[in-house]
Amino acid sequence: MNDTASPAGYPHRHLLGIEGLHPPEIAYLLDLADAYVEQNRQIDKKRAVLRGRTQVNLFFEASTRTSTSFELAGKRLGADVINMAVARSSVQKGETLLDTAMTLNAMHPDVLVVRHGDSGAVQLLSQKVGCAVINAGDGAHEHPTQALLDALTIRRRRGHLDGQVVAICGDILHSRVARSNIILLNTMGAEVRVIGPPTLVPAAVEALGVTVHHDMRKGLNGVDIVMMLRLQIERMQGSYVPSLREYFQLYGLDQSKLELAKPDALIMHPGPMNRGVEIDSLVADDINRSVIREQVEMGVAVRMACLDALGRHLPNLNGAAS
Ligand code: CP
């Protein structure tokens, strides 16, 4: 894999967010992931890159794509992978996040993959443990591997990220996916528009280098990529939209709104999708333009790349630094 990745490398011990990463570091992870896409399409998908290493997946929030792909990624790289079932753990008896983390740390894992409902929780945890930590999504803060897999999907389809006009649409306020994508896409030279109702777009989002549209038809005009977001009802206290029916009429992606984007615009969604709320089924399942399933495939490769990159900073198996 070394031969195919850019030489800059990934110099960090953890992956806590996209914020602070430099373009060559992002390109390095994407190059590495590109090679893993090809490996994952072979019959023999296994490598020994993490043989002898222990990876613990600790998800305090529900997940299908991220948790499954991290498990698959670790196993394909030869790690021993433990999925801690939070619902059946001592968290249910009141054990705190940090006590849980310290308990797991005492078992000498090499990598902890953590999803938590509070922004900043994963970074806090990374300061208390002795192993590498990957943020699998923290509150409305960051979801770095999602942004990387989205970038890989776009780059493989379009050949590059710079100059791409990307519309991120819907519930921007509660979305860690939006935040990580905005930072990554801007860092790599894309142009980002955010589209949503005023109640679901954070007040200071322009400071992240995006333009804001509240009229979806205007915002979609001429874009290369339409990235839809789930309406995160579970994070809302009170009402942010008048009704789901009205939300779909104004902000749901259907064929008529999609026609305003470029004719070959790609349709993306991180999942899980609420069909008929933020996206119409005909658009989501459009075999020519929807890359939603491809995003899932890229997720495994990106997570292998991230585990591999962090694994290169672990002490080697005879005790010396690698
Ligand atoms: N996109 C994403 O994070 O999906 P899951 O919640 O299923 O992991």
Interval 31-80: pLDDT, tens: 999 999 999 999 999 999 999 999 999 999 999 999 999 999 999 999 99
The model's pTM is: 0.95
What per-residue confidence (pLDDT) applies to 318? 66
Interval 96-123: pLDDT, tens: 999 999 999 999 999 999 999 999 999 9
Interval 247-256: pLDDT, tens: 999 999 999 9
Taking CA atoms only, the protein residue closest to ligand 1 atom 5 is 63
Residue 239 has pLDDT above 50, yes or no: yes
Distance (Å) of CA 59 to CA 14, 24, 138, 186: 17, 30, 10, 29
Query: Which atom number of ligand 1 is nearest to the Cα of residue 143?
Result: 3
Residue 158 has pLDDT above 80, yes or no: yes
Nearest alpha-carbon partner for 73 in 233, 249, 296: 296
Contact 98, 120 (CB under 8 A): no
Separation between Cα atoms, residue 179 and residue 177, nearest integer Å:
6
Distance 319 CA to ligand 1 centre (A): 36
Can you say whether the dihedral through the CA atoms of 183, 185, 188, 190 is positive or negative? negative
Distance 270 CA to ligand 1 centre (A): 7
Separation between Cα atoms, residue 261 and residue 238, nearest integer Å:
33
When mean pLDDT is compared across 5-9, 17-21, 287-291, the lowest value belongs to: 5-9
What per-residue confidence (pLDDT) applies to 1? 38
Cβ(211) – ligand 1 distance below 6 Å: no
Taking CA atoms only, the protein residue closest to ligand 1 atom 3 is 66
Contact 183, 208 (CB under 8 A): yes
Query: Best substitution site from 64, 134, 135, 177 to test ligand 1's pocket, by max atoms within 8 Å of Cβ?
Result: 64
Contact 47, 76 (CB under 8 A): yes
Cβ(170) – ligand 1 distance below 6 Å: no
Produce one character per residue of 156-187: b if its CB has 16 or more CB atoms within 10 Å, e if not: bebeebeebbbbbbbbbbbbbbbbbbbbbbbb
Contact 157, 291 (CB under 8 A): yes
User: Can you list the alpha helix ranges (DSSP code H) found in the chain?
Assistant: 23-40, 65-76, 97-105, 121-126, 144-158, 176-187, 216-219, 244-251, 255-258, 281-284, 292-311
What per-residue confidence (pLDDT) applies to 4? 45
Distance from the first to the final alpha carbon of the chain: 17
Query: Which atom number of ligand 1 is nearest to the Cα of residue 68?
Result: 8
Cβ(68) – ligand 1 distance below 6 Å: no
Interval 291-313: pLDDT, tens: 999 999 999 999 999 999 999 99
**In sequence order, which residues have a C-beta less than 8 Å from that of residue 300 and are 6 or more positions away?**
36, 40, 69, 72, 73, 76
Query: Which atom number of ligand 1 is nearest to the Cα of residue 299?
Result: 1
When mean pLDDT is compared across 8-12, 115-119, 238-242, the lowest value belongs to: 238-242
When mean pLDDT is compared across 80-94, 135-149, 170-184, the lowest value belongs to: 80-94
How does the average pLDDT of the chain come out, rounded?
93
What is the token pair recorded at 281? Answer: 């089924």
Distance 65 CA to ligand 1 centre (A): 5
What per-residue confidence (pLDDT) applies to 320? 53
Give mean pLDDT, residues 134-141: 97
Interval 182-228: pLDDT, tens: 999 999 999 999 999 999 999 999 999 999 999 999 999 999 999 99
Cβ(270) – ligand 1 distance below 6 Å: yes
Cβ(145) – ligand 1 distance below 6 Å: no
Three-state secondary structure along 249-284? HHHCECHHHHCCCCCCCEEECCCCCCECCCECHHHH
Distance 193 CA to ligand 1 centre (A): 22
Taking CA atoms only, the protein residue closest to ligand 1 atom 1 is 270
pLDDT category at 319 given cuts 50, 70, 90 is low
Separation between Cα atoms, residue 247 and residue 130, nearest integer Å:
46
Cβ(180) – ligand 1 distance below 6 Å: no
Q: Which residue has the tokens 């930590």?
A: 133
What per-residue confidence (pLDDT) applies to 2? 36
What per-residue confidence (pLDDT) applies to 7? 52
What per-residue confidence (pLDDT) applies to 233? 75
Separation between Cα atoms, residue 88 and residue 71, nearest integer Å:
18
Distance 222 CA to ligand 1 centre (A): 28
